[in-house]
Structure 1
Amino acid sequence: MTRAPRSTVPVDEASYDRLRLSQWLAGRARGDGMSRRGVLTLLAAGTAALALPAPVRAAAATSPGIVKPLPDEWFTLRGTNAETKWEALRGTGYLTPADRFFVRNHTSTPVVDTTTWRLRVWGSGLRGGTGLDDAVEFGLDDLRALPPVEHTAFVECAGNGRSFYTSQQGQSVSGTAWTLGAVGVARWRGARLSDVLRRAGITRHAVDVMPRGLDDEYVTGGVGLGRVRRPLPVAKALDDVILAYEMNGEPLPYDHGRPVRVLVPSWAGISSVKWVGDIEVSAEPLYSPWNTDFYRLFGPGFPEAGSAPLTRQTLKSAFELEAGAAFPAGVRSVLHGRSWSGAGGVRRVEVSTDGGATWRRAGLRDVPRRDGWVRWSVPWRPRTPGPAVLLARATDTAGRTQPDEAVFNTQGYFFDAVVRHPVVVAGRDVAGGDRPGRSMYDADH
């Protein structure tokens, strides 16, 4: 087994994004199953700022459309999605267990027969310009026969943290009201996408590579958008992208892409298409609703037609702690959390226990790691009973530090500001003993 290397193929994401945006606006990009006029109609609708729906309460242990159990103590259900509760990650180690990993579904989880599953690779960017009907096919055994690679990386929804645009910044946005639990880190094992593309006959004329999932067609506003699909620049596809068939040493669970999913390290989660069924390799630029009207930034701070399609994730920090947790006054506690960045490893984390008046360096339990997160901790002995606000801010190896306020966009993507975490400091009785409800953070774990 080998580790996934960094390719020597340059990946100039900014240049690629500018080029594809100009091509799409000029009508020179081809869409799959949808007219450009249809995309423009959805684009206009998508730029309207809608009121963020109220958070959905934690629901029962199962949900229609999601296969795995969803215990109330681990998940909050949000429509077709399940958000991980941060307090459920206490003591789980560096990797997020598959049973606690968040679920982001546009429709519902398909249960695909692994024995009959085939990955079809096709398009004008292959030798002979094959169509879907005469695609080059790979079965699961074919992928397993290729040199395997392992990569530990986070997957995160682009809307993670979206609810804080409203609760912290007073701004109305559209989309699922995630807090910070739409992220997880796993050890992924699979075949290099580059190996598959080369065996399929990719040519030097290829410019875009577009995986498509096997989940049901996504319908919104009465418009059928087809199955989830999103193009990648060919340089990225040939770089560090994996066709993963294992997660944390086990076959992929159904909710996380079984039998095979795409893994695009550090990029917005929509790029890591689950249940991949076919991959189009195109000699002309491609678009889909997931890189035109969705997963771009719209709003007063962006061009009228929107930003370039989203690629690398932003910078975030979270406490492994439920909102409103109680801590006893005068007793030493230890605060724990995790920070991560799409631009590189996190090298410093600072924590404030007084609402931002003062800051202290947290101790890091992990070295900065590309595509991963760091776990951290800091001791705290609260003195005064009453409400308190905890803050954590990270700085990554690219020099970015979490800001006090995120740049507004109407769809609520890429929230990166420091999140205010409310807690309560409980008083002590006359005898000096702790009041009931002592915090679970009274010792290291």
Structure 2
Amino acid sequence: MSTATTPGPDRSRLGQVGRRDVLKLLAAGPAAAQWAAAGPAAAAVSPGGVPGIVKPLPPELFTIRGTNAETNVSAFAGTGRLTPADRFFVRNHTSTPRLGESDWKLTVWGSGLGGGRRADFTYGQLRSLPPVTRTAFLECAGNGRNYFDTQQGQPVIGTPWTLGAIGVARWRGVRLADVLRLAGITDRAVDVMPRGLDDDFVAGGVNLGRPRKPLPVAKAMNDVILAYEMNGEPLPYDHGFPVRVVAPSWVGIASVKWLADIEVSDTPLSSPWTTQFYRLFGEAYPPEGSVPLTRQTIKSTFELAEGAVFEAGRIHHLTGRSWSAAGAVRRVEVSTDGGAHWRPAKLRDTPHRDSWVRWSADWRPRHAGPAELLARATDTAGNTQPPTSVHNTQGYLFDAVVRHRVTVR
């Protein structure tokens, strides 16, 4: 079976995991009458300012990058620890589909299920499963890609994100592990591959199908959820309504939006998103590239527009955010003289894994002219942002300290 081209199974009927099985699991849960889908949820439908994105994209909040919208890092200021949905970055391979609850189904299928079974879950059935809430950041693997070129002088290909292809939200949904157990996952299962409902992605004239990236069973059964709410509201269209995958700490492509089906396989799976993309290629890597990307890295950003202007002789309150996929951020240092001297920033949050920490530092510039502000984070796993990031041709996993250029007058 070709995992790159084989379509999902017929979704016209419920498989061997039927309503009776689910009801047994949910005897103490909502009544069966509540399973009926309620029709399309309310969502923003005003023009987004770019073809394929639904929500408004005002220039003070977003920078348009092809089919994507990057949050301006200055727009994080004052938003609290969670990123409001109207400021959350958008990463689209094609365009946002506008789907409804009533005709949506999730199909779980594949050789990793017992007896060749398959199971279909409606939106109502999924919401009737035991819920879980998890705060986690989602971040594009190419976040910071722009700095390989502008800061390190090393050309890369791909969307030239600065540091705004990230957001933190409180996700509510169900454990992927619970869904897989209901579907009949066996101990022979190796990989689990969610696939979205967006249009096929065409690159270089080749149709690569719908976005999909396999997860090892160990990850799928651990902390991955199928989310239907974001910050206490139904998922907005651009962020995966009706249901999306949230794979904490992993690169954003693993958190597939507009979930359609999940293949469970007893042999390893692959897709163009693990062979052509989301590997590290370049002089530092073997000819076939690195292993497929999994976990994100460590970063920091000031909540300032590039080229922000400060008045000399006055005290200015600098703010920013730092995050790491390897552990909670435990220390942030800042430099206001281009890296010659460093001092600790004040952490404004209790550090948590899979989230960012807000921080602040005061600065009183003495002289007019250009200046460079730097911030570097250290996490509980012992990682500290390096002065440069190891180059790869597609610009993934940039983790170096960013030089934020400002002007003092």
TM-score, structure 1 as length reference:
0.82
Alpha-carbon distance, 1:31 to partner: 3.0
| Aligned counterparts of 1:221 and 1:78: Cα–Cα separation in 2 | 19
Whether 1:282 and 2:254 are equivalent positions in the alignment is no
Report whether the alignment pairs 1:96 with 2:68: no
Assess if the C-alpha contact under 8 Å between 1:74 and 1:88 holds in 2: yes
Residue type of the partner of 1:222?
A: G
Q: Is the 8 Å Cα contact of residues 338 and 373 (structure 2) preserved in structure 1? A: yes
Q: Give the secondary-structure state (helix, strand or coil) at the position aligned to 2:114.
A: coil
Q: CA deviation at 1:90?
A: 1.1
What is the CA–CA distance in structure 1 between the aligned matches of 2:4 and 2:94, rounded to whole Å? Answer: 19
Verify the 8 A CA contact 1:30 1:285 in the aligned structure 2: no
Residues 30 and 287 in structure 1, CA contact (< 8 A), matched pair in contact too? no
User: C-alpha root-mean-square deviation of aligned residues, in Å?
Assistant: 1.1
Distance 2:4 2:190 in 1: 16
Q: 2:386 aligns with which of 373, 385, 403?
A: 403
Q: 2:57 aligns with which of 39, 49, 70?
A: 70
2:198 & 2:147 partners in 1: Cα distance?
Answer: 30
CA distance in structure 2 between the partners assigned to 1:366 and 1:92 by the alignment: 13
Local SS of the residue matching 1:121: strand
Question: Pairwise mapping of residues 342-381 of structure 1 onto structure 2 (< 5 A)?
Answer: 342-381=325-364
- Distance in 2, matches of 1:114 and 1:144, equals 11
- Once the two structures are superposed, residues 271-307 of structure 1 have per-residue CA deviations (whole angstroms, 9 ceiling, x without a partner) of 0000010000001111000011100100110111110
CA–CA separation in structure 2 for the residues paired with 1:321 and 1:401: 22
TM-score calculated relative to the size of structure 2: 0.89
SS at match of 1:152: strand
Q: Match of 2:101, as an amino acid? A: T
Q: Distance in 1 between matches of 2:343 and 2:101?
A: 50
Residue number in structure 2 paired with 1:239: 222
Identity rate, percent: 69
Answering whether residue 300 of structure 2 is matched by residue 337 of structure 1, we say no
Amino acid across the alignment from 2:68 = N
| TM-superposition CA deviations, 1:385-443 (whole Å, max 9, x none) | 111000000000100000000000000000000000000111xxxxxxxxxxxxxxxxx
Q: Quote the Cα distance in structure 2 between the aligned partners of 1:259 and 1:124.
A: 26
Give, in angstroms, the shift of residue 162 of structure 1: 0.2
Question: SS at the partner of 1:128?
Answer: helix
The equivalent of 1:382 in structure 2 is 365
1:414 aligns with 2:397: yes
- What amino acid is the match of 1:200? A
User: 1:183 Cα shift?
Assistant: 0.2
In 2, Cα distance between equivalents of 1:387 and 1:61: 35
Distance of 2:3 and 2:392 partners within structure 1: 25
CA contact (8 A) 1:85 1:322 kept: yes
Corresponding residue for 2:206? 223
Whether 2:335 is the aligned partner of 1:316: answer: no
1:116 aligns to 2:99 (yes or no): no
Give how far 1:30 is off.
5.2
Cα shift readout 1:18-58 (whole Å, capped 9, x = no counterpart): xxxxxxxxxxx953218xxxxxxxxxxxxxxxxxxxxxxxx
Task: Give matches, 1:1-400, under 5 Å.
Answer: 31-33=3-5, 62-130=49-117, 135-400=118-383
Deviation at 1:120, TM superposition (A): 0.3
Q: Which consecutive residues of structure 1, in runs of 5 or more, have no partner in the other structure?
A: 1-28, 35-59, 427-445
CA distance in 2, matches of 1:410, 1:87: 28
Work out whether residues 4 and 272 of structure 2, in 8 Å CA contact, stay in contact via their aligned partners in 1: no
Runs of 4+ in 1 over 4 A off after TM superposition: none
